[in-house]
Amino acid sequence: MRDPTGFLQKEYKELVEKALDWRLKEVQGPSEPVSMVDGREVLILCANNYLGLATHPKLKKAAINAVEKYGVGSGAVRAISGTMDLHMELERRLAKFKDAEASLTYPTGFMANSGLIPQLVGKEDIIVSDELNHGSIIDGVRLSRAERAVYRHNDTAHLAEVLDEAEKHSPNYRRILVITDGVFSMDGDMAPLDEVARIGAEHGAMIYVDDAHGEGVLGKGGRGIVSHFGLTHKEVHVEMGTFSKAYGTIGGHISGSDALSKFAWNKSRTWLLSSSHPPAVAAATIAAIDVLETEPQHVKNLWMNTNYFKKAVQDLGFNTGNSQTPIIPIIVGESHKAKALADRLYEEGVFVVPIVFPMVARDLARIRVQMHAKLTTEQLDSVIGKMETIGKDLDVI
């Protein structure tokens, strides 16, 4: 007889044996640089809440007021009765912030990618994708059933070759979509988006950037990578992002032409068939845009801390790879070394995660540090001191 569910326990045990299972740490307070985790106070250096907006008083107040006025749930999907004035206001504010004709929000960033990409391209089309793109792009690409070509990470000469080949091989593609992360989440390096857009344009390709880790970080006042390169939505047709990182709340979004927004909401199943944000989320996210527009100190502090910390660990001899942003990998080589470094740091009160194969190549295991605008110089110095001691103990430096 077939055992219908025996694989559940078996496959989980295999993960545990290979130390590839995820063990959850319980955060028992707000996402702040210093918080309680599993009963101990630690410094958290592995949160996406780069600017501290998840606990900003203006966002909290906006959420509380929205609960009082609207309650806690939106009651429906956007297309039925789940579009509140707050959702519309958020999209207008975001479009203005992004200097776009229109913006559209999705429940999450994952759902923006997995819902929109399969509508932009299909069987008669090709997607050309950076090899290190995020998993939500990969799922979107799979759902599209478009042909798929991968170019070497950030290698625009290879991108040009792949596009030439594709068109030579099959000149009749209906559409070409070139897609890249803006900031790569494991390395903290940036896509050369200006070049990607220029090369894509030579082939009449649609250009799509996922700027999840660039927003609130890069560009004028944290407007993101499109602003950083001085590009517009005429060159980068889909600027996608998420409110779950620097904005401090949750929600995917796209910005671009009015036609893009209308197409996207009428076609994306993740938009049509999944409920809209609770009003508190929409209200807090509007407040996040307010804060980005009126309090430039957060982005400034984030970069000051990033530059200070990165230089200090580089001076100690740590390998930070190609990091150009507040994502700072500390590359140590083998996975057991990365795990040992993370474990020792945790014992000393510093919470970072080891990143190992298959998330990165086997010999490029690392811990990933994510900087925070509200960390003080004293806190950074204490982390740097601990890294020096432990790095020497473990023969990393």
Q: Which residues are catalytic?
A: 185, 213, 245
Contact pick of 49, 129, 244, 255 for ligand PLP (by CB under 6 A): 244
Using the contact rule CB under 6 A, the part of the chain among 7-15, 103-111, 150-158, 223-231 near ligand PLP is 103-111
- The number of CA neighbours under 13 Å toward the Cβ of 192 is 14
DSSP-based three-state secondary structure for 65: helix
Using the contact rule CB under 6 A, the part of the chain among 61-69, 147-155, 208-216, 381-389 near ligand PLP is 208-216
Q: Per CB under 6 A, does 213 bind ligand PLP?
A: yes
For residue 365, give every residue at least 6 positions away whose Cβ sits within 8 Å of its Cβ, in sequence order, or none: 331, 332, 333, 334, 335, 337, 338, 339, 354, 355, 356, 357
Contact pick of 105, 119, 136, 261 for ligand PLP (by CB under 6 A): 136
Residue with tokens 């998840």: 54
Residue pair 270/106 in contact by the 8 Å Cβ criterion: yes
Q: Per CB under 6 A, does 110 bind ligand PLP?
A: yes
Q: Per CB under 6 A, does 268 bind ligand PLP?
A: no
Shortest reach from residue 92's CB to ligand PLP, in Å:
20
Shortest reach from residue 219's CB to ligand PLP, in Å:
16
Per-residue DSSP letters for 126-167? Answer: EEEEETT--HHHHHHHHHHT-EEEEE-TT-HHHHHHHHHHHH
Q: Per CB under 6 A, does 242 bind ligand PLP?
A: yes
Shortest reach from residue 243's CB to ligand PLP, in Å:
7
Residue with tokens 């740091």: 345
Task: State how beta strands 238-242 and 252-256 pair.
Answer: antiparallel
Using the contact rule CB under 6 A, the part of the chain among 107-115, 161-169, 299-307, 339-347 near ligand PLP is 107-115
Residue 32 tokens read as 């702040």
Counting other chains too, the contacts that 310-314 makes at CB distance below 8 Å and 24 or more residues apart are: 312/380, 312/384, 313/384, 313/387
Shortest reach from residue 371's CB to ligand PLP, in Å:
15
Buried b / exposed e across 162-182, counting CB within 10 Å, b at 16+?
bbeebbeeeeebeebbbbbbb
Give dist(CA 308, CA 41) in Å, integer: 24
Q: Which is nearer to ligand PLP, 112 or 299 (CB)?
A: 112
- The number of CA neighbours under 13 Å toward the Cβ of 131 is 12
Shortest reach from residue 192's CB to ligand PLP, in Å:
16
The amino acid sitting at 86 is L
Q: Which is nearer to ligand PLP, 35 or 370 (CB)?
A: 370
For 323, counting Cβ atoms within 10 Å of its Cβ (0-12 exposed, 13-18 middle, 19+ buried), the class is buried
Residues numbered 314-343 forming contacts with ligand PLP, rule: CB under 6 A: none
Number of amino acids touching ligand PLP (CB under 6 A) = 14
* Reduced 3-state DSSP string for 238-285: EEEEECCCCCCCCCEEEEECHHHHHHHHHHCHHHHCCECCCHHHHHHH
Contact pick of 59, 94, 100, 109 for ligand PLP (by CB under 6 A): 109
Rounded to the nearest 10 degrees, what angle do helices 135-144 and 109-120 cross at?
Answer: 30
Shortest reach from residue 244's CB to ligand PLP, in Å:
4
Q: Per CB under 6 A, does 276 bind ligand PLP?
A: no
Rounded to the nearest 10 degrees, what angle do helices 156-169 and 193-202 cross at?
Answer: 20
Contact pick of 212, 260, 281, 360 for ligand PLP (by CB under 6 A): 212
Give the contact letters, 152-191, x = binds to ligand PLP (CB under 6 A), - = no. -----------------------------x---x------
Residue pair 61/287 in contact by the 8 Å Cβ criterion: yes
Contact pick of 187, 189, 210, 239 for ligand PLP (by CB under 6 A): 210
Shortest reach from residue 134's CB to ligand PLP, in Å:
4
Contact pick of 33, 188, 252, 279 for ligand PLP (by CB under 6 A): 252
Using the contact rule CB under 6 A, the part of the chain among 105-113, 140-148, 264-272, 373-381 near ligand PLP is 105-113
Residues that bind ligand PLP (CB under 6 A): 108-110, 113, 134, 136, 181, 185, 210, 212-213, 242, 244, 252
